[in-house]
Amino acid sequence: MEKGRFGIYGGQYIPETLMRAVTELEQAYERWRSDPGFVSELQNLLAQYAGRPSLLYFAEKMSRDLGGAKIYLKREDLNHTGSHKINNVLGQTLLAKKMGKTRIIAETGAGQHGVAAATAAALLDMECEVFMGAEDMERQALNVYRMELLGAKVNRVTSGTSTLKDAVNATMREWAGRMTDTHYCLGSVMGPHPFPVMVRDFQAVIGEEIKVQCMRFEGRLPDAVIACVGGGSNSIGSFYTFIGEEEVELIGCEAAGKGVDTAENAASIANGAVGVFHGMKSYFCQDEYGQIAPVYSISAGLDYPGVGPEHAALFDRGRARYVPITDEEAVDAFAYLARSEGIISAIESAHAVAYAMRYAPTLPKDRILVVTLSGRGDKDVAAIARYKGVSVSE
Partner 1 sequence: MNKISAAFSAGKAFVPFITGGDPDLETTEKLLYALDQAGAAIIEIGIPFSDPIAEGPVIEAADMRALQAGCTVDKLFDLVARVRPDIQAPLLFMTYYNPIFAYGIARFIERAAACGLDGLIVPDLPFEEREELYQPCKARGLTLISLIAPTSDTRIRQIAMESEGFLYCVSSLGVTGERSAIDDSAKYMIEKVREISDIPCAVGFGISTAEQAQAISAFADGVIIGSAIVRIAAELGRDCVDAISAYAKTIKQAIALP
Residue 285's contacts (CB-CB under 8 Å, 6 or more residues apart) are 265, 266, 267, 268, 271, 272, 292, 293, 295, 305, 306
Residue 295's contacts (CB-CB under 8 Å, 6 or more residues apart) are 161, 163, 165, 257, 264, 265, 266, 268, 285, 303, 304, 305
Q: Give yes or no: 246 in active site.
A: no
Task: Name residues contacting partner 1, limited to 292-331 (CB under 8 A).
Answer: 292
Among 52, 70, 165, 211, binds partner 1 (CB under 8 A): 165
- 87 forms part of the interface with partner 1 (CB under 8 A): no
CB of 109 to partner 1, least distance (A): 15
- 13 forms part of the interface with partner 1 (CB under 8 A): yes
Of 157 and 331, which has the nearer Cβ to partner 1? 157
- 37 forms part of the interface with partner 1 (CB under 8 A): no
- 389 forms part of the interface with partner 1 (CB under 8 A): no
Q: State the binding string over 263-282 for partner 1 (x if CB under 8 A, else -).
A: ----------xxxxxxx---
Which of 26, 76, 107, 209 does the annotation list as catalytic? 107
Of 170 and 330, which has the nearer Cβ to partner 1? 170
Q: How far apart are CA 298 and CA 313, in angstroms?
A: 27
CB of 240 to partner 1, least distance (A): 25
Query: How does strand 368-373 pair with strand 224-229?
Result: parallel
Please report which residue ranges of the chain form alpha helices under DSSP H: 16-32, 36-48, 60-66, 85-98, 112-123, 134-139, 141-149, 164-177, 195-203, 205-218, 233-239, 268-271, 309-316, 327-341, 347-359, 381-387
CB neighbourhood size of 180 (10 A): 11
- 289 forms part of the interface with partner 1 (CB under 8 A): yes
Task: Name residues contacting partner 1, limited to 131-160 (CB under 8 A).
Answer: 159-160
Catalytic residues: 85, 107, 374
Binding site for partner 1 (CB under 8 A): 11-21, 159-160, 165-166, 169, 172-173, 176-179, 273-279, 284, 286-292
